[in-house]
Amino acid sequence: MSDEKSSQMNVAGFVIKPDAPELFTVYNDIKEKFERRDIKVLLLQESAQMISVTAGVSFTELCTQSDFLVSLGGDGTLLGLVRNSYGYNKPVMGINAGTLGFLADVRIEEVDRFLDGLLIGQYRMENRMMIDAYIQTADGRKNFHAFNDVVITRPSISHMVKIDASIDGEWFNTYRGDGLIISTPTGATAYNLAAGGPLVYPLSKAFIMTPIAAHSLTQRPLVLPSNFTIDFSSPKDRVIVMVDGQDDYEMQAGEMLVINCAQVDARLLHKKERNYFSVLREKLHWGEKE
């Protein structure tokens, strides 16, 4: 959390939810709120084209010229922005124009109050673990990062996958079933939760490994410290590797997926009063009367 006046929040780089031209009016209203506080607004070129605005910049320009990045949409928009901007080390703010809002928690009607707090240091900065991964092929490495999860899954609905898993180079398990989720604590409330995995406090650093429809009742979710290197291979079959539910890669039989904790955390800007457990109660409807 920051309690000092922010002097480095002068330029905001906006990304708008793809295929949502209806956000044109919302974006213009929010842009005016930023500019009224002398915060310059840059807009991603693809977002500008979508809402028929002429002034847009490339993603590289957006990340290098902005002091912080802003996603206007839902959690999926924020996920993509965090992952794609990895390496620029820019804080990311999520304005919730979607429905869920585990990550993008600033509602449209709260933007004025959030910006007033931001400029005097009244906000919460959260460091979130990310995954640094690569697929080792005969031709080299395919490198990528994940914010929520990496999912190894079957290429067709009729096909079971067999996944060999090793920790720090030592084999420890073979998973058979529909696949396997390797999640960060941030991603614990995503696919991991739907597959029966545990909730883990999002500021922790740990890997959560949750089998998907395992063909054995003895296979259970496993939580591991983030300092391990975990690798996976499918000895006989091709599998699909999904990254944050947005990007996918083919992994051929005998190739290896290697997962580490990324050296640099994602940084999320939140309301100062944000409380993770309150969010859980609200989004998961805990404690409601029958």
Structure confidence by residue, pLDDT tens digits, 57-84 = 999 999 999 999 999 999 999 999 999 9
Strands (E), the chain: 11-16, 40-43, 68-73, 92-96, 106-107, 124-128, 131-137, 140-146, 149-153, 161-167, 170-177, 179-183, 206-212, 222-225, 230-233, 239-243, 247-251, 256-261, 266-270
What does pLDDT average to over the chain?
Answer: 92
Give the pLDDT band (50/70/90) at residue 290. low
| Residue 67 appears among annotated catalytic residues | no
What DSSP character marks residue 7?
Answer: S
The full set of domains in the chain, from first to last, is 11-128+265-284 (3.40.50.10330), 131-261 (2.60.200.30)
**Catalytic residue, candidates 38, 75, 168, 237:** 75
Q: Residues 129-177: pLDDT tens digits? A: 999 999 999 999 999 999 999 999 998 877 889 999 999 999 999 999 9
pLDDT given for residue 2 in this prediction: 46
- Cα distance between residue 34 and residue 115, in whole Å: 7
Q: 48 and 55 in contact (C-beta within 8 Å)? A: yes
| Range name among 8-17, 188-197, 222-231, 265-274 with the lowest pLDDT average | 265-274
Give the separation between CA 112 and CA 215, rounded to whole angstroms: 51
